[in-house]
């Protein structure tokens, strides 16, 4: 594979509070704003509290999930008096950090999230982005306290719905387990280390370092699984089985327990062997998702360095 070269990565946005009850990002952004941390060597940093109203209410969102509002279609819908708050806020963020897909967009957008699932630290990104893959590889090689994984969503940019899609390059950092509305120092420190390593890598890149290509493992979504429900009331009749709870990214084999009903029966995994993730994520109850299932893939990427003028 050839070597790639990219223009320097000057403008970086670190966003938190896109979901108002995911506290690591909220406090990380506030701390960066308090320290007026807006320049790190060659890198100009903007720390953005994405959904301030939801943060004030300590809720995921006010009217609708902000992190599903960044498709081209939603960003171009006319605004009226009845437009949900998050669609208006998405437009503001797209003006400040984008416009999405344009030369004016920030070079890197990193959006900080938490999950109640035991997922450790995950980088989530769309399609194949070599910059994001190099940052992932760098964080993984430097961080020893926590497993570091990558999740790749195979969605074209125009349909990409989440905030990180507004940057020229972008990824979400997802860390758990942490309850919504709670700030844990151990999780905060993991997020802080990941942000620091991201900025460190960008500085190294801008200063002319060549980063070797290679291979990394990533997980790619195959399907989502809902909770068992009572057919008449549609209410859940089972919880995640204790043997699956907290076992994100551990291969689920035929016959492994996945649900435990409230009356004590075990429901077992059927079909293909896949990797569960977002197991018992709080915000996915309303989306009718008990867990996602992924396939493990290998991503290959070239050496890269900064493009000389």
Note whether 194 binds a second copy by CB under 8 A: no
3-state SS, 50-72, equals CCHHHHHHCCCCCCCCHHHCCCH
Of 275 and 284, the one with the shorter C-beta distance to a second copy is: 284
Which one of the spans 28-36, 39-47, 96-104, 165-173 is the region binding a second copy (CB under 8 A)? 28-36
Element (H, E) at 30: helix 23-34
Among 99, 101, 179, 302, interactor with a second copy by CB under 8 A: 179
Closer to a second copy by Cβ: residue 10 or 57: 57
Q: Closest separation between CB of residue 148 and a second copy, Å?
A: 19
Binder of a second copy out of 87, 143, 153, 183 (CB under 8 A): 183
The sheet carrying 11-16 orders its strands as 39-40, 43-49, 11-16, 108-114, 169-176, 120-126, 148-153, 214-225, 291-301, 275-277
Per DSSP, what are the bridge partners of residue 293? 223, 276
Cα distance between residue 124 and residue 162, in whole Å: 10
For the chain, what's the residue count? 309
Nearer to a second copy by C-beta: 70 or 188? 188
Among 2, 270, 286, 309, binds a second copy (CB under 8 A): 286
Contact pattern for a second copy over residues 106 through 135, marking x by CB under 8 A: ----------x-------------------
Q: How far is the CB of 22 from a second copy (least distance, A)?
A: 12
Segment contacting a second copy (CB under 8 A): 77-85, 121-129, 248-256, 279-287? 279-287
CB of 98 to a second copy, least distance (A): 29
Q: Using the rule CB under 8 A, give the single segment among 48-56, 152-160, 202-210, 231-239 that binds a second copy.
A: 231-239
Cβ-based nearer residue to a second copy, 193 or 200: 193
Longest dimension (CA), the chain: 68
> Alpha-carbon dihedral of residues 20, 125, 258, 252, nearest 10 degrees?
-160
What's the distance, CA 264 to chain centroid? 35
Task: Pick from 4, 6, 30, 101 the residue near a second copy by CB under 8 A.
Answer: 30
Assess 262 for contact with a second copy (CB under 8 A). Answer: yes
Considering beta carbons, is residue 152 or 178 the nearer one to a second copy?
Answer: 178
Beta strands per DSSP E along the chain: 4-6, 11-16, 39-40, 43-49, 108-114, 120-126, 148-153, 169-176, 214-225, 238-240, 257-261, 266-268, 275-277, 291-301, 304-306
Asked if 298 contacts 216 with a C-beta cutoff of 8 angstroms, the reply is yes
CB of 56 or CB of 272, closer to a second copy: 56
d(CA 82, CA 86): 11
What residue has token string 């990214």? 249
Q: Does 64 bind a second copy (CB under 8 A)?
A: no
Q: How far is the CB of 35 from a second copy (least distance, A)?
A: 8
Residue with tokens 């896109």: 18
Interface residue list for a second copy (CB under 8 A): 27, 30-31, 34-35, 58-59, 116, 177-186, 188-189, 230, 235-236, 239-242, 245, 260, 262-263, 280, 282-283, 285-286
């Amino acid at each position: 594979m050839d070597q790639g070269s990219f223009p320097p990565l000057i403008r970086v946005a670190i966003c938190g509070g896109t979901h108002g009850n995911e506290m690591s990002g909220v406090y990380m952004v506030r701390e960066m704003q308090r320290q007026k941390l807006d320049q790190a060597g060659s890198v100009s940093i903007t720390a953005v509290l994405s959904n301030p109203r939801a943060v004030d209410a300590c809720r995921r969102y006010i009217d609708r999930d902000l992190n599903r509002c960044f498709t081209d279609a939603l960003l171009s819908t006319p605004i009226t008096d009845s437009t949900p708050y998050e669609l208006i806020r998405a437009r503001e963020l797209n003006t400040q950090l984008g416009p999405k897909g344009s030369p004016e967009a920030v070079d890197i957008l990193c959006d900080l999230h938490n999950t109640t699932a035991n997922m450790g630290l995950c980088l989530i990104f769309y399609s194949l982005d070599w910059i994001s893959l190099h940052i992932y590889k760098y964080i993984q090689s430097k961080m020893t306290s926590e497993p570091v994984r990558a999740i790749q969503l195979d969605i074209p940019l125009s349909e990409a719905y989440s905030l990180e899609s507004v940057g020229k390059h972008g990824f979400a950092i997802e860390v758990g387990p942490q309850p919504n509305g709670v700030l844990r120092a151990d999780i905060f420190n993991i997020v802080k280390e990941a942000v620091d390593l991201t900025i460190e890598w960008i500085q190294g890149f801008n200063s002319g370092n060549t980063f070797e290509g290679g291979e990394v493992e990533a997980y790619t979504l195959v399907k989502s699984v809902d909770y068992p429900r009572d057919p008449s009331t549609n209410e859940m009749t089972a919880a995640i089985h204790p043997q699956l709870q907290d076992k994100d990214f551990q291969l689920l084999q035929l016959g492994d327990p996945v649900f435990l009903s409230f009356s004590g029966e075990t429901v077992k995994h059927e079909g293909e062997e896949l990797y569960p993730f977002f197991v018992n994520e709080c915000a996915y109850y309303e989306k009718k998702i008990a867990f996602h299932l992924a396939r493990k893939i290998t991503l290959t990427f070239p050496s890269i360095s900064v493009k000389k003028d």
